[in-house]
Structure 1
Amino acid sequence: MILRKRDGYELDTDPARIDLDRVHHWLSTDAFWALGRSREVVEQSLRASLPFAVYAADGGEQVAFARVVTDLATFAWLCDVYVDRAHRGRGLGTWLATAVVEHLRPYALKRILLSTADAHEVYARAGFVPFPDPEKLMIARS
């Protein structure tokens, strides 16, 4: 799937286009939830996920990334959403999250979840709302 914004940004789901070195750098050095994550783990997680990337109009440099872990039947988890600092404030995070929701719509999933510490308004514009019963959620730490 390829989408284009009027300002020239392009969103693509082709895993072959992902700049793995760039994504690893972003996640391991600047994303608080993934600091120190190894390149091998980033690569493995990408292989087991649906990737979404945004590319700049001026030469196609990758400027954002997200991935979705899903069974394509009942559930999806949107994670590792990152927009390059130089491209923030242009609506790319919301565009990326909205594209994920729209891409998954034909599967009629029961839920698409994500976790955020600081970008609630970005995801709200893409249709996400607080989990209605957070007391039902549990986590097993490994």
Structure 2
Amino acid sequence: MQEYTISTDENHLDFDVIYGFLSESYWAAGIPKHTLAKAISNSFCFGVYDCHHSQVGFARLITDQATFAYLADVFIVENHRGKGLSKYLVESIVSHPELQGLRRMVLATRDAHGLYAQYGFQPIENPDVLMQIWHPDIYCESQV
């Protein structure tokens, strides 16, 4: 991974790259720019950068950095996939010094269970104890 770096410095984040990817993703399609900007500013973010300092990946955690974290919006742009960057990113997140000692870290994924399982993520043992308020079409509604 010598040609790539990961940073938590929010000053390096490229909002256009992040928005360009997430606004087309299956989980955040149509997210308004102001909503994403607010989400990023209130999260612990990880950017992945190539040797030219261009952002090629991203992930964010909603966390108190003491007891709980929710991992969200993880991606590597398509032309940089297949190089182990998603593994590099997830490993960097779960081993980050600010995230040690958490009681729980959770995520939701439709298609990357194998990736996350390599780093200790498991299906929820008792999903019946979890509840949610879910508005899957909120981004469509907020643009009206």
TM beyond 0.5 = yes
Shift of residue 125, structure 1, vs aligned partner: 1.8
Counterpart selection for 2:42 from 48, 51, 62? 48
1:95, 1:126 within 8 Å by CA — same for their partners in 2? no
Residue 139 of structure 2 aligns with which residue? Answer: none
Determine whether 1:88 maps to 2:98: no
2:59, 2:74 within 8 Å by CA — same for their partners in 1? yes
Aligned partners of 2:126, 2:109: CA distance in 1, in Å? 16
Counterpart selection for 2:9 from 11, 14, 18? 14
Aligned partners of 1:36, 1:106: CA distance in 2, in Å? 30
Alignment RMSD:
1.4
Residue 140 of structure 2 aligns with which residue? Answer: none
Counterpart selection for 2:30 from 14, 19, 36? 36
Determine whether 1:71 maps to 2:64: yes
CA spacing shift, 1:122–1:106, aligned 2, 3 Å: closer
2:62, 2:71 within 8 Å by CA — same for their partners in 1? yes
CA shift digits 1:49-97 (9 cap, x unpaired): 001010012x111000000000112100000001101111111112111
Determine whether 1:135 maps to 2:118: no
Q: Number of paired residues?
A: 135
Aligned partners of 1:92, 1:80: CA distance in 2, in Å? 15
CA shift digits 1:99-138 (9 cap, x unpaired): 1111156541100000000011111122212122122211
- Structure 1 residue ranges, 4+ long, deviating more than 6 angstroms after superposition: none
Q: Which residue identity lines up with residue 117 of structure 1 in the other structure?
A: R
Aligned partners of 1:61, 1:135: CA distance in 2, in Å? 42
Q: What TM-score comes out, normalization by structure 1 length?
A: 0.89
Aligned partners of 2:98, 2:11: CA distance in 1, in Å? 24
Q: What TM-score comes out, normalization by structure 2 length?
A: 0.88
1:65, 1:82 within 8 Å by CA — same for their partners in 2? yes
Q: Which residue identity lines up with residue 79 of structure 1 in the other structure?
A: A
Any idea what SS the aligned residue of 1:67 has? Answer: strand
